């Protein structure tokens, strides 16, 4: 049996795996549940995520990636190995080539950790690519022409902003403000405002169901349950969309500022292209209500959400893997 080339979007919130010739065949949360004492793995992915905030003391639920990089190397390796074994991408005598994505400004030590985790999980040869570049390719942008393309990729751990031309990044910025920070903002707001303790999953549900970045955006409400910090008893409260806007607005402004910085540092010829072509939004954060309009107003440039914002990085890995083969094929012919 032959191994297959695979592309991995190793996200803080989710792992997506693209297998050459098959497309995206895995999309699971980046979560592992383990026995605290024996380090025995109890669940990985969706099953493990469902356990967050609901486990007895002897079980710990770990999110091994933080801010787009590996926070727990051993658990990341366990998680990747589990997913690769589940997909049966390793051949009897062969291992797959793996293309894996990382944020733009991570250190060489962090890059090495990602590479080693992929190798130990069963990769023969591991390639690293910068996330906004891969996201832009997956969103259908032609970044190989001498013209400016701008992408804002808002994931779980990082927001990556980049201007690309001639197949590479010209200017970029990566900030550790994204989906996870929004969740924490909401959680802390509810705690301050209502003296109510809620879990991360409830905060995320509020963000998705009724969240907005605009004070004039959604006008929706949602009932949530949590523990009253004063009485210690379970309590129900109703939250409005405007409150979510208030909770996350400072963090959203950090992303707007990062995009503005990148534009300010972009050569004028490429800036002119971006005015014509606009900005593409990718990642889960692109689905936050009103984020495209807010960026368009603040940056005075058209902003479009990619067709499949959650899948762009994984789709991009597939396109890059194909081009690797074409390049090696050309080298063989000319050699």
Binding residues: 12-14, 156-158, 204-207, 284-287
Q: 329: how many CB neighbours lie within 10 A of its CB?
A: 10
What is the sign, positive or negative, of the torsion defined by CA atoms of 184, 186, 192, 194? negative
Contact 155, 178 (CB under 8 A): yes
What pairing do the DSSP bridges indicate for beta strands 97-102 and 125-130? parallel
**Helix axes 131-138 and 312-334, enclosed angle (nearest 10):** 90
Contact 263, 274 (CB under 8 A): yes
From the list 156, 126, 152, 158, the residue with the least C-alpha distance to 139 is 152
Burial class for 1, CB neighbours closer than 10 Å (0-12, 13-18, 19+): exposed
DSSP string for residues in 97-138 = EEEEEE-TT--HHHHHHHHHHHHHTT-SEEEEEEHHHHHHHH
SS3 322: helix
From the list 103, 151, 148, the residue with the least C-alpha distance to 128 is 103
Q: Which residue has the tokens 């942008």?
A: 141
Interatomic CA distance for residues 152 and 159, integer angstroms: 7
- Residues in CB range of 34: below 8 A, 6 or more apart: 40, 41, 42, 59, 60, 62, 75
Question: Which residues on neighbouring strands pair with residue 35, listed in sequence order?
Answer: 59
Interatomic CA distance for residues 31 and 82, integer angstroms: 12
In the chain the first and final C-alpha atoms are separated, in Å, by 29
Binding site for ATP, residues? 12-14, 156-158, 204-207, 284-287
């Amino acid at each position: 049996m032959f191994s297959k080339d695979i592309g991995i979007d190793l996200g803080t919130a989710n792992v997506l795996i693209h297998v050459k010739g098959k497309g995206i065949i895995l999309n699971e949360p980046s979560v592992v549940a383990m026995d605290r004492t024996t380090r025995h793995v109890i669940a990985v992915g969706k099953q493990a995520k469902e356990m967050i905030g609901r486990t007895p003391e002897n079980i710990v639920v770990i999110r091994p990636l933080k801010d787009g990089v590996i926070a727990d190397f051993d658990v990341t390796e366990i998680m990747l190995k589990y997913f690769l074994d589940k997909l049966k991408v390793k051949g009897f005598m062969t291992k797959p080539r793996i293309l894996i994505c990382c944020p733009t400004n991570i250190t060489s030590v962090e890059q090495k950790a990602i590479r080693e985790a992929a190798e130990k999980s069963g990769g023969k040869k591991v390639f690293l690519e910068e996330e906004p570049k891969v996201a832009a390719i997956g969103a259908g942008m032609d970044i190989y022409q001498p013209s400016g393309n701008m992408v804002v990729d808002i994931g779980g751990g990082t927001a990556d902003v980049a201007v690309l031309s001639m197949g590479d990044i010209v200017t970029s910025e990566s900030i550790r403000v994204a989906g996870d920070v929004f969740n924490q903002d909401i959680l802390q707001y509810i705690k301050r405002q209502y003296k109510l303790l809620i879990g991360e999953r409830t905060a995320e549900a509020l963000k998705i169901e009724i969240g907005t970045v605009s004070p004039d955006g959604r006008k929706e409400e949602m009932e949530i349950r949590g523990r009253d910090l004063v009485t210690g008893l379970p309590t129900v409260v109703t939250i409005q969309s405007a409150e979510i806007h208030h909770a996350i607005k400072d963090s959203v402004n950090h992303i707007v500022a990062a995009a503005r910085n990148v534009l300010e540092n972009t050569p004028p010829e490429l800036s002119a292209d971006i005015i014509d072509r606009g900005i593409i939004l990718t990642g889960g954060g692109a689905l936050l209500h009103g984020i495209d309009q807010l960026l368009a107003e603040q940056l005075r440039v058209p902003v479009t959400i990619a067709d499949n914002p959650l899948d762009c990085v994984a789709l991009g890995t597939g396109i890059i893997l194909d081009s690797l083969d074409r390049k090696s094929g050309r080298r063989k012919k000319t050699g």
